[in-house]
């Protein structure tokens, strides 16, 4: 084969390769848009999620009926929490080994991991229960959550007696952990006593924990799995 023929062959190969890459990228962009729109419709989302299909080439993955790596990002997702709902500010899913059904109407992933950002205000809904009885006819309830530093949460407890609130709320440093689909807030240490109307009142630990410790169950993290804690305002699931 002459040098000129070799050059022509190389040019043809490069052109065909470029056309294949272009076709592959067009196909993956179309698939991402279609998947995002279907996810928005099926889940009743207010905004179209981000769908990113990783790996190359895409067309050979489709031909084999399985995608190597897919990432999904959803903002302002309302997940079920018992009879109520909890707003997930930012939900990110990372799925591997995504297999299609025969008619491409559904898909399952071999593994899925992700993170879910929950604001303190949303988590506070779980702590805003009815006031809990304390000694001497006082009551206490959680009224605020904030960053306690070093992965801790500062729980603000409002104490009242006879309808009058104490001048200063009680702040308790707490740990946050996730068990299964439930976020749990647990006080690291309970105050031993509390000044009520100038009287130092001993505080039974069990009674105080009825106020400070609470949990929030999240039933509907899709594509569905158990949560694990990552850091304040964030939970992750696998």
Q: Rounded distance, CA 46 to CA 37, Å? A: 11
**What are the φ and ψ backbone dihedral angles of 132, each rounded to 5 degrees?**
-105, 140
pLDDT over 90 for what percent of the chain?
3
* Residue 234 in domain: no
Q: Give the mean model confidence (pLDDT) for residues 196-213.
A: 79
Boundary residue ending a domain (68, 92, 118): 118
Print the domain residue range for 158: 121-229
Q: Rounded distance, CA 66 to CA 109, Å? A: 9
**Using 50, 70 and 90 to split pLDDT, how confident is the model at 128?**
low
Boundary residue ending a domain (118, 134, 163): 118
Q: Give the mean model confidence (pLDDT) for residues 205-219.
A: 82
Q: What is the pLDDT of residues 53-72, one digit of tens each?
A: 888 888 888 878 888 888 98
93 and 16, same domain (yes or no): yes
90 and 27, same domain (yes or no): yes
138 and 177, same domain (yes or no): yes
Q: What is the pLDDT of residues 7-58, one digit of tens each?
A: 545 555 555 555 566 777 888 888 888 888 888 887 778 888 898 888 888 8
220 and 175, same domain (yes or no): yes
- Closest to 79 (Cα-Cα) out of 125, 110, 147: 125
- Is the distance from CB of 47 to CB of 79 less than 8 angstroms? no
Q: What is the pLDDT of residues 86-126, one digit of tens each?
A: 788 888 888 888 887 766 667 788 888 878 788 888 888 76
What pLDDT score does 160 carry?
Answer: 84
């Amino acid at each position: 084969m002459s040098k000129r023929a070799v050059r022509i062959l190389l040019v043809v190969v490069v052109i065909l390769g470029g056309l294949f890459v272009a076709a592959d990228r067009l196909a993956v962009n179309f698939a991402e848009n279609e998947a995002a729109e279907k996810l928005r419709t099926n889940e009743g989302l207010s905004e179209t999620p981000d769908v990113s299909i990783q790996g190359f080439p895409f067309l050979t993955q489709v031909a084999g009926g399985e995608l190597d790596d897919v990432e999904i990002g959803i903002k302002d997702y309302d997940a079920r929490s018992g009879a109520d709902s909890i707003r997930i500010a930012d939900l990110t899913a990372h799925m591997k080994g995504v297999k299609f059904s025969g008619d491409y109407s559904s898909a399952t992933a071999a593994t899925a991991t992700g993170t879910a950002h929950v604001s303190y205000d949303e988590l506070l809904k779980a702590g805003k229960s009815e006031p809990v009885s304390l000694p001497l006819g006082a009551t206490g309830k959680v009224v605020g959550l904030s960053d306690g530093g070093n992965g801790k949460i500062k729980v603000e407890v409002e104490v009242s007696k006879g309808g009058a609130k104490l001048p200063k709320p009680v702040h308790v440093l707490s740990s946050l952990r996730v068990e299964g689909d439930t976020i749990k807030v647990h006080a690291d240490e309970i105050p031993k006593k509390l000044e009520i109307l100038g009287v130092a009142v001993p505080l039974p630990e069990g009674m105080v924990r009825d106020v400070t410790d609470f949990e929030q169950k999240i039933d509907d993290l899709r594509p569905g799995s158990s949560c694990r804690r990552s850091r304040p305002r964030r939970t992750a699931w696998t």
